[in-house]
């Protein structure tokens, strides 16, 4: 009798398995399971750096914008020193050129004044000689010329005064040329300085980038480098696991006749929290049939196969990480 009862129990269990397969997971059932996932954010840097400081450790909770690491790039110090050296050299060159121009201006002024003095002295000499000759003529009782001075002497004095005017004009032109050259020297200095300042601003911006911050709220999953380590560009530095899940990986049962297309909306419900639900959008899938994880089977002991499907969920979704989700089509 005991043997018959045991045999009957095994037979019923066997039939139940087929019933579950054909009904609970079979055709006509459009609900299936999935689990929330998140895509870890792998952080790196686009230049070789030295790790100057690490401000977090594995498992730490971080907020978007929190400082995670501080870097050092020796070449930025060298670049700054070179550019400041350029500015100093430009200043030295400008001052040297201005000094030469100032000396040229002093020489020009002295030459101009000497030439003016010489011409004015010649005019005074001519006028003095005329006065002397005029006095002699008066003593001798001779008459002066009609205009008080002889034509030759008057012509010579007029020529000297014309030279003074020409000298003044030439001096004004030379002064203007020296001033223009000094102004050009200043403009060249300012242009070279402006170019170097742009380079210094770039270096400053690069320095400000030597701080690695968290892109999202989450947890430090792993740290791949150590303090003072020299790290090549684009090597993994730290991995951040976002606080909120970003997608769901579900499995459509092999026997379920469910078709979908990318962009379709699906309904999502927490398996254990019945009042928590939301929507998602299908972003991908795998047509290959694979074995379902035990946790996502409707009967854990019953090996089950299905097709993977990937669903994007909003960043403000109400689900926990790795939460079991019931997925159904609207």
**CB atoms near residue 183 (< 10 Å):** 10
User: What average pLDDT does range 225-234 have in this prediction?
Assistant: 96
Task: Tell me the β-bridge partners of 242.
Answer: 218
| pLDDT at 27 (0 to 100) | 39
Q: Determine the length of the chain.
A: 330
Going by the DSSP 8-state scheme, the letter that residue 314 receives in this structure is -
Tens-place pLDDT, residues 298-326: 888 999 999 999 999 998 899 998 999 99
| pLDDT at 12 (0 to 100) | 60
Query: What is the full DSSP assignment across 12-64?
Result: HHHHHHHHIIIIISSTT---EEEEEE---EEE--SS-EEEEEE---TT-EE-T
Q: Which of 1-10, 42-51, 106-115, 239-248 has the highest mean predicted lDDT (pLDDT)?
A: 42-51
Q: Which of 16-25, 57-66, 251-260 has the highest mean predicted lDDT (pLDDT)?
A: 57-66
Tens-place pLDDT, residues 69-95: 999 999 999 999 999 999 999 999 999
User: How many angstroms from the chain centroid is the CA of residue 312?
Assistant: 31
Tens-place pLDDT, residues 19-63: 444 444 443 467 999 999 998 899 999 999 999 999 999 999 999
**Residues 6 or more apart from 304 whose CB is under 8 A from it?**
25, 253, 254, 291, 292, 297, 298
| pLDDT at 26 (0 to 100) | 42
Q: What is the mean pLDDT of the chain?
A: 87
Percent of the chain exceeding pLDDT 90 equals 62
Which CA distances in Å does 134 have to 38, 130, 150, 204?
118, 6, 10, 84
**Strand residue runs (E) in the chain:** 32-37, 41-43, 49-54, 61-62, 67-72, 211-213, 218-223, 230-231, 238-242, 247-253, 265-270, 277-291, 305-312, 324-329
């Amino acid at each position: 009798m005991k043997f018959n009862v045991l045999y009957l129990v095994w037979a019923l269990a066997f039939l139940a398995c087929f019933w579950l397969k054909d009904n609970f997971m079979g055709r006509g059932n459009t609900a299936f399971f999935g689990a929330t996932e998140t895509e870890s954010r792998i952080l790196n840097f686009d230049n070789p750096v030295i790790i100057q400081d690490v401000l977090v450790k594995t498992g730490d909770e971080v907020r978007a914008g929190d400082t995670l690491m501080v870097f050092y790039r020796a070449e930025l110090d060298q670049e700054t020193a070179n550019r400041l050296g350029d500015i100093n050299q430009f200043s030295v060159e400008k001052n040297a050129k201005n000094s030469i121009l100032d000396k040229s201006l002093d020489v020009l002024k002295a030459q101009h004044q000497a030439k003016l003095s010489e011409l004015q002295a010649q005019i005074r000499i001519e006028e003095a000689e005329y006065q002397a000759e005029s006095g002699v003529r008066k003593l001798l009782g001779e008459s002066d010329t009609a205009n008080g001075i002889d034509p030759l002497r008057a012509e010579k004095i007029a020529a000297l005064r014309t030279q003074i005017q020409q000298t003044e004009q030439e001096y004004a032109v030379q002064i203007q040329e020296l001033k223009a050259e000094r102004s050009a020297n200043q403009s060249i200095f300012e242009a070279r300085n402006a170019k170097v300042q742009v380079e210094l601003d770039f270096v400053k911006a690069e320095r400000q980038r030597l701080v690695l911050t968290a892109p999202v709220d989450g947890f430090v999953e792993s740290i791949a480098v150590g303090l003072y380590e020299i790290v090549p560009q684009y090597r993994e530095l730290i991995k951040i696991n976002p606080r909120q899940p970003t997608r769901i990986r579900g499995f459509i049962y092999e026997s379920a006749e469910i078709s979908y297309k990318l962009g379709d909306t699906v309904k999502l419900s927490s398996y254990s929290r019945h009042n928590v639900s939301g929507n998602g959008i299908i972003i991908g899938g795998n047509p290959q049939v694979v074995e379902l994880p035990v946790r996502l089977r409707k009967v854990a002991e019953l090996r089950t196969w299905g097709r993977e499907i990937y669903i994007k969920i909003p960043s403000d979704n109400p689900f926990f990480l790795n939460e079991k989700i019931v997925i159904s089509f609207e």
